[in-house]
Amino acid sequence: MARSDSDPAARFAELLDRAERLRLAGLSFDDLRELGRLYRASAARLARLRDRGDDPEAIRHLNALCVRGYGLLYVAPGRRSGGRAWLFDRLPRALARTWHAQCLAWGLLLAGGALGYALAARDDAAIYALVPAGLGYEDGGLSALVETAEAREKFLAREESPAHAKALFGSQLFSHNTQVGLLSFATGILAGVPTCLLQLYNGLTLGAFASIFLRDPRPVEFLAWILPHAIPELTAVTLCASAGLLLGLAVAAPGRGGRAAALREALDPALLLFGASIPLFAAAAVVESFVRESALGTAPRLAVAGTFLALLGLALAGVRRAARTRRVDTRWLGELIAPADRGELIAPARTAAPGSGSGAEP
């Protein structure tokens, strides 16, 4: 405080610099209170200097400080627009607020995967019941994959395909996966029941299909085949399921505000989660068509999977930081700066802003 008492303008400028760098939410309560007090004192001093008409340089400097203080304390901050606000502000906060729905969606997927693997490992008939025949591709389909290691080895064979065939395959995958995600999201409005069933079925199918290859003594080739595209794809599917669960919770347990209000509140984060799944679906389609259907070795494929895991870890760290960041309500500053009686300076929020050209008010 000694610096503030000896040079209020310097202390005021220092607090303004910190507030502009960290935003008001980054200042402590004492700093916010001092900022309001120094703004009020600076505004009063500016009015006296203008009234006397001396020291133009001091007037310009103090007026600039008051303009900055007025903008911080009284002007409502505008929302950042465009993709930057969506990526760095709204989406992380939506992910942080909806962690419970995401945990439930991941739990359903993992539970389905574990159940599907257990059923398939116990009885091969479960594989034919749970895995679509189209996943077996050619040469005998699923039965060949289940019965012979040679068919599994041929299934995982690395062959280079033409670029146009890869592009067509990727577009088909993106369209199909997006439809699955949209179905999981949209059916959440039915109290979330279809979303839960779809997420369980996805896990059952994945677990049963994985059981075919995990019976081999060295399933590394299969992991290198599936992990690069499965990580972003399953994350995208789970985000869509989480969005559907948010809608389902608003319908099934709306609370005291009513179902319409609960749906309005859940719609924005649900749409953000679904929107975040689209680039993940696109990344999965690119990897599945240009990495999986290529002659790349095991190490590069696992490196791609590790890269996706690292990116997801960084995203989770950012979401955790957003969850711990709490917006500070600074409306109380208006009461702090407001005059205690009519003889004091009128709060600038009710008059002209600094630099507006008036002679008495800043």
* 233 and 342, same domain (yes or no): no
Where in the sequence is the domain holding 297, given as residue range(s)?
A: 83-324
Q: What is the pLDDT of residue 140?
A: 59
Dist CA 203 CA 218 (whole Å): 23
Looking up tokens 């969606």, which residue turns up? Answer: 105
User: How high is the pLDDT of residue 350?
Assistant: 39
User: Residues 168, 227: one domain?
Assistant: yes
Task: Please give the pLDDT value at position 238.
Answer: 97
Judge whether 288 and 173 are in contact, CB under 8 Å: yes
Of how many residues is the chain composed?
Answer: 362
End-to-end CA separation in angstroms for the chain: 25
* Contacts of 266 by beta carbon, 8 Å cutoff, 6+ apart: 246, 247, 249, 250
Distance CA 231, CA 240 (A): 14
| 129 and 172 assigned to the same domain | yes
Cβ atoms of residues 115 and 207 within 8 Å: yes
Note whether residue 361 is domain-resident.
no
Alpha helices in the chain (DSSP H): 2-6, 8-22, 29-52, 56-73, 82-85, 91-97, 99-122, 125-130, 141-147, 149-155, 163-186, 193-214, 220-252, 259-287, 298-324, 332-337
Residue 309 sits in the same domain as residue 336: no
Q: How many CB atoms lie within 10 A of CB 319?
A: 20
- State whether 261 and 335 are in the same domain: no
Q: Name the nearest CA neighbour of 209 among 261, 281, 137, 271.
A: 137
Q: What is the pLDDT of residue 57?
A: 87
41: amino acid identity, one letter: A
Q: What pLDDT sits at residue 7? A: 81
Give the model's pLDDT for residue 73.
Answer: 82
pLDDT for res 108:
97
Going by C-beta distance under 8 Å and a sequence separation of 6 or more, which residues neighbour residue 196?
108, 245, 248
343 and 320 housed in the same domain: no
Split the chain (362 residues) into runs of 10 and give each run's mean pLDDT: 63 88 77 89 89 84 88 68 65 89 96 96 91 64 86 85 85 93 95 96 95 89 94 96 96 90 93 94 93 88 94 86 58 48 39 45 38
* Residue given tokens 């930081």 in the structure block: 321
Count structural domains, the chain: 2
pLDDT of residue 343: 39
Do 213 and 234 belong together in one domain?
A: yes
Question: Residue 181's closest CA among 259, 282, 87, 90?
Answer: 282
CA 262, CA 254: separation in Å to the nearest integer? 5
Judgement on whether residues 23 and 102 belong to the same structural domain of the protein: no
d(CA 337, CA 302): 60
The answer to whether residue 159 sits within a structural domain is yes
- Return the pLDDT at 349: 40
